[in-house]
Amino acid sequence: MGLMKATDRFMVRGAACLVDGERLPIANLSVGGLFAVTDRPPIAGQVVSLDLALPEHESPLHIRGQVTWVNEDGKRIPHMPPGFGIKITQISFVDKLALLGFLRRSNGARARGDASDA
């Protein structure tokens, strides 16, 4: 795969995050952020704590991040579902290694670029 940048996003199957008790599917994932699918996104700029569940990984990864953008009703980026992008601001070293390993093993396709950091 070569070098992976924090902005390289991958479409992955089976990944989800738990935010405020709600399990949300992940549309794309990177070392630096993610896009979660939901009809009820948090407000842009909001700081959120979430648990990231990855396929074949026993325990969730604990992440803190900032909502960088919201795609409400697909208005901002039509090819994306409604939801929100998060820039990861805090993750333990062990969890970051697990995330890197998952992305390296993943057969997910690279996601199309958009205006976001996540």
Q: What is 30-83 written as a DSSP string?
A: -SSEEEEE-SS---TT-EEEEEEE-TT-SSPEEEEEEEEEEEGGG-SSTTSPSE
Q: Which fold has domain 16-105?
A: Thrombin, subunit H (2.40.10)
Spatial CB neighbours of 15, under 8 Å, sequence gap ≥ 6: 25, 26, 29, 34, 52, 53, 54, 55
Residue 29: the pLDDT is 94
pTM greater than 0.75: yes
Instruction: For the chain of 118 residues, list the mean pLDDT of each consecutive stretch of 10.
Output: 60 90 94 94 95 92 97 77 95 95 74 47
